[in-house]
């Protein structure tokens, strides 16, 4: 039939961005209104904030694991650097102005990024398990440094009375903006170079991709956003202790990324939501809480080893495109014939 000949209509890029921006602004406004109206209790709103923070941590780790294809295990270290940086700035600068909040988060990200470069250059010469171990070591060094610099960080008892800047709007605006920036990076020449390294490092190098540069770049971007998430975390809890940033924190973030699907931003966010909300939701089964949590992970990994979403990423505009082309529900057999 001549229907198949009709070209597939696409939404222009600028219009896509417009649609997505409008949708996100509406979501953000709706969320704020919901929280302000008081239909959500304190405990629930705390969970919602935590989900946002962990979503950003997972999305940032996904840059290094899912997109670049490396396995760093020290993500809590970058988070700690960011958390303490933001906390110290906010404690030193009173007031709740947007400028102060932004300054804190930006500084948190930048300092974490500096650590990312410093660790990344030597660490990324190694591969696989070696990289995992060296970054694991880095995470621990940060934690030990925090314990042993009580003058700055408050040592083991920690840092108290941090201004609680992380409101719903601050957290989610930051998360959305960060995800958008990571997305725009990945959908560009530089992003493709990073993906190419994951797919085949030798071929990428032979195609002219400076693999060292792009590995450090991806690692640094990953560290930057982990630092920003750390800053949000500081502004959410109001108290920081070195115990918040152990190896287990890094592992938890990694579990989120793997569960959601390596290389899928939407997957990371969904997994962060599930794994943050689940332990809290299961509190009434306190005894079996961790058993259920562990079982869930095992079941997902057995039946969906590539994670909940695999490498698939959710795209609203793609769905709209399918709808306007009348292909929202393609029949399998027919699609196969067309390709053949």
Partner 1 sequence: MPKFARRNVSSKMVPLDGLGIIPERDAGSPPILDIRHLCVDFGGLRAVDDFTLLIGRTEIAGLIGPNGAGKTTVFNLLTNVYKPTQGRILLNGQDTRGKSMHELNRLGIARTFQNIRLFAGMTVEDNVKVGMSHGYDDGVFTDIFRLPGWWRTERRQHVRALELLDLFNLTDKADALAGNLPYGDQRRLEIVRALASEPKLLLLDEPAAGMNPSETHELMDNIRMLRDQFRGHRRAELRQDHRQGHAQGDPKQSRGHRGVSGRGGGQMMLQVTNLNVYYGNIRALKDVSFSVAEGEIMTLIGANGAGKTTTLLTISGLKKAQSGAVQFLDKDITKTTPQSRVAMGISQSPEGRRVFPGLTVLENLEMGAYLRKDDFSGDMEKVFTYFPRLKERKKQSAGTLSGGEQQMLAMGRALMSRPKLMLLDEPSMGLSPLLVSEIFEIIRRLNDNGTTILLVEQNAALALKLAHRAAVMETGRIVLAGTGEELSRSPAVQKAYLGG
Minimum distance from residue 45 beta carbon to partner 1 (Å): 31
How many CB atoms within 10 Å of residue 204? Answer: 20
At which residue do the structure tokens 């027919």 appear? 334
Residue 235, token pair as written in the block: 């502004």
By CB under 8 A, the residues from 213 to 232 that bind partner 1 are: 217
Closer by beta carbon to partner 1, 5 or else 92: 5
Nearer to partner 1, 100 or 195 (CB): 195
Task: Verify binding: residue 311, partner 1, rule CB under 8 A.
Answer: yes
DSSP letter for 300, please. H
Number of DSSP helices (H) and strands (E) in the chain, helices first? 15, 0
Number of residues counted as binding partner 1 (CB under 8 A): 36
Q: Which is nearer to partner 1, 164 or 192 (CB)?
A: 192
Residues 6-25 binding partner 1 (CB under 8 A) are 13, 17
Query: Is residue 4 within the footprint of partner 1 (CB under 8 A)?
Result: no
CB neighbour burial string for 262-299, b if at least 16 within 10 angstroms, e if fewer? bbbbbbbbbbbbbbbbeeeebeeeeeebeeeeeeeeee
List the x/- string, 161-200, binding to partner 1 by CB under 8 A: --------------------x--xx--xxxxxx-xx-xxx
User: How many C-alpha atoms does 135 have within 13 Å on its Cβ side?
Assistant: 33
- According to the binding rule CB under 8 A, does residue 321 interact with partner 1? no
Does position 327 interact with partner 1 (CB under 8 A)? The reply is no
Bridge partners of residue 159, in order along the sequence: 240
In whole angstroms, give the CA distance from residue 137 to residue 147. 15
Of the candidate residues 32, 45, 211, 306, the single one contacting partner 1 (CB under 8 A) = 211
Q: Is there binding between residue 91 and partner 1 (CB under 8 A)?
A: no
Nearer of residues 204 and 234 to partner 1, judged by Cβ:
204
Q: Closest approach of Cβ 253 to partner 1, in Å? A: 23
Q: Interface with partner 1 includes 335 (CB under 8 A)?
A: yes
What gap in Å lies between CA 135 and CA 313, rounded to an integer?
28
Of these, 141, 149, 152, 203, which contacts partner 1 (CB under 8 A)?
Answer: 203
Residues numbered 235-294 forming contacts with partner 1, rule: CB under 8 A: 263
Closest contact distance (angstroms) between CB of 79 and partner 1 is: 21
**In the complex, minimum distance from the CB of residue 17 to partner 1, in angstroms, rounded to a whole number:** 8
Site for partner 1 in 67-86 (CB under 8 A): none
Instruction: Please tell me whether residue 264 adopts helix, strand or coil conformation.
Output: coil
Is the CB of 62 or the CB of 249 nearer to partner 1?
62
Residue 199 CB contacts under 8 Å (≥ 6 apart), including other chains: 69
Sequential DSSP letters for 56-91: HHHHHHHIIIIIS------HHHHHHHHHHHHHHHHH
Pick from 126, 2, 10, 132: which is nearest to 61 by CA?
Answer: 132
Binding site for partner 1 (CB under 8 A): 13, 17, 181, 184-185, 188-193, 195-196, 198-200, 202-211, 217, 263, 311, 330, 332, 335-337, 339-340
């Amino acid at each position: 039939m001549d229907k198949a000949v009709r070209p597939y209509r696409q939404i222009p890029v600028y219009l896509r961005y417009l649609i997505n921006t409008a949708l996100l602004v509406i979501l953000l406004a709706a969320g704020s209104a919901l929280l302000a109206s008081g239909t959500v209790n304190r405990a629930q709103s705390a969970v919602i904030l935590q989900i946002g923070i962990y979503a950003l941590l997972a999305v940032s780790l996904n840059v290094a694991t899912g997109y670049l294809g490396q396995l760093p295990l020290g993500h809590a270290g970058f988070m700690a650097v960011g958390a303490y940086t933001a906390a110290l700035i906010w404690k030193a600068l009173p007031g709740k102005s947007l400028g102060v909040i932004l300054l804190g988060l930006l500084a948190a990200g930048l300092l974490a990024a500096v650590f990312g470069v410093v660790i990344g250059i030597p660490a990324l010469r190694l591969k696989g398990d070696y990289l995992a171990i060296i970054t694991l070591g880095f995470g621990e060094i940060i934690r030990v440094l925090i314990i042993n610099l009580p003058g700055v960080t408050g040592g083991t008892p920690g840092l108290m009375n941090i201004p609680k800047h992380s409101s719903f709007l601050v957290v989610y605006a930051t998360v959305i903006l960060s995800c958008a920036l990571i997305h725009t990076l990945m959908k560009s020449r530089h992003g493709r170079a990073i993906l190419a390294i994951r797919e085949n490092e030798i071929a990428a190098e032979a195609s002219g991709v400076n693999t060292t540069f792009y590995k450090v770049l991806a690692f640094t971007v990953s560290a930057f956003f982990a630092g920003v998430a750390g800053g949000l975390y500081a502004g959410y809890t109001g108290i920081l202790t070195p115990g918040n940033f152990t190896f287990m924190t890094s592992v938890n973030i990694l579990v989120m990324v793997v569960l959601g699907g390596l290389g899928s931003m939407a997957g990371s966010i969904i997994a962060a939501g599930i794994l943050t909300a689940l332990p809290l939701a299961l509190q009434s089964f306190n005894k079996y809480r961790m058993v259920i949590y562990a079982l869930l992970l095992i079941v997902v990994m057995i039946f969906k080893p590539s994670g909940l979403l695999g490498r698939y990423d959710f795209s609203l505009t793609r769905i709209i495109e399918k709808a306007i082309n009348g292909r929202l529900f393609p029949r399998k057999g027919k699609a196969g014939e067309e390709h053949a």
